[in-house]
Amino acid sequence: MVKEKKNLLIYAHYYISDTASTGQIVRELAEGMLDKFDITVICVVPSYLGTIEDKYKTQKYYEEEINGVKVLRIRVPEFSKTNKKSRVKNIVSYFFGAMFATFKVGKMDYVFSIFQPPILGRLLGVWGKWMKHAKYIYNIQDFNPEQVLAVGYTKSKLVTDAMMWFDKFSCKRSDLVITVGRDLVETVENRFKGKKVPKTVMINNWIDENEIYPLDENNERVLAFKKKYGLDGKFVIMYSGNIGLYYDLENLIKIIEKIKPGTKTAEGRDVVFAFVGAGSVLDKLVLYVKEHHMDNVAFIPYQDKADLIYSLNAGDVHWCVNAKGIKGVSCPSNVYSTNRIDVASSKRTCFAH
């Protein structure tokens, strides 16, 4: 007798085909559980970089099925990662759109929400629990307001106190909190000062070893990537991922400035620095590099998931960085992909904190 599958609702903010790492993780998670659950994902239309294709501009909701996962997408306004107002408008549109979208899906046994958008993603999980009378699982990869406090994104105590109250509210209403690192479990415990701590477990992120693995340095696709972006024949120190607020990249670029163009390795290769990705501080980095004539720095756009293996293999050293104060607050997921390339080869991952 075939056991009836349970129904699982996931609030994901971003989902494939978006390039956001969380969307990729949720995709692998959802598809990996299809033998146990019927899964529905509520997310935005593809818009991680701020722009939206015309085909997603005519309706409020779009229903799709991707590899067996039912996807309900919400139309949101376009935004700029450097404009706070446009980002807030985009996020709020998703939040209220997702609340109404909850009524468009059927009975649910479990609700799973991630940490994005900050605070609101968690509240959607509580909303789904109440509306569907379901068990709620809350996945934390970044803590807020701790994250915004660490980088000084806002100095309003009223705002950060409200953020903390709402996020603790979400934790208390969850049936299970999942963090992606041991020190993040400690942060949950510290929030509640050891009293009535929500049930919390650690399940780390992962990388699909069939998709990301070391390639020979003479692989044609790797060489083509290097040639396209002016990296051929160079010693490449690479940062691949979100070029955002929480990685201290503005200070990192100032350190890179001290390494002058033309600096060579012992074997005679020019040292270059490659930043692969996009984010809220990208424009600042590009401007700094231009103003300081840093010809040894290259900025490369996000790569399609299928091409990520080639861009990662183009790096000789990979940087995995966090801003000061982020320990116990956030766990950078790019460490899994860079370590997968580096540990199994002669390359190296450099950690900076």
Residues 12 and 116 in one domain: yes
Is the residue at 112 inside a domain? Answer: yes
Does a structural domain hold residue 211?
no
Out of 168, 202, 236, pick the residue that ends a domain.
202
Residue 129 is encoded by which pair of tokens?
């629990």
**CA nearest to 287, candidates 243, 323, 246, 318:** 243
Looking at the fold, whether 177 and 149 belong to one and the same domain comes out as yes
Query: Is 168 found in the same domain as 19?
Result: yes
1 located within any domain: no
Structure tokens at 210: 């069939």
What pLDDT score was predicted for residue 315? 92
Convert 23-62 to b/e letters by CB count within 10 Å (16 or more is b). Answer: bbbbbbbbeebeeebbbbbbbbbbbbbbebeeebeeeeee
Same domain, 25 and 156: yes
Spatial CB neighbours of 112, under 8 Å, sequence gap ≥ 6: 8, 9, 10, 11, 125, 136, 137, 139
Which pLDDT value is given to residue 353?
47
Residues 227 and 119 in one domain: no
Rg over CA atoms, the chain: 21
* pTM of the full structure: 0.84
The values of phi and psi at residue 262, to 5°, are 100, -10
Domain boundary among the residues 139, 170, 202 is at 202
Number of domain units in the chain: 2
> Is residue 341, in this structure, part of any structural domain at all?
yes
Residue type for position 325: G
Instruction: Give residue 335's pLDDT.
Output: 65
Mean pLDDT by groups of 10 residues along the chain of 353 residues: 84 89 89 95 91 91 96 92 83 94 96 88 94 95 83 82 89 92 86 85 85 89 96 94 86 93 92 93 95 96 89 90 80 66 52 48
94, 75 contact by CB (below 8 A): no
Residues of the domain holding 179: 6-202
Residue 300's CATH number: 3.40.50.2000
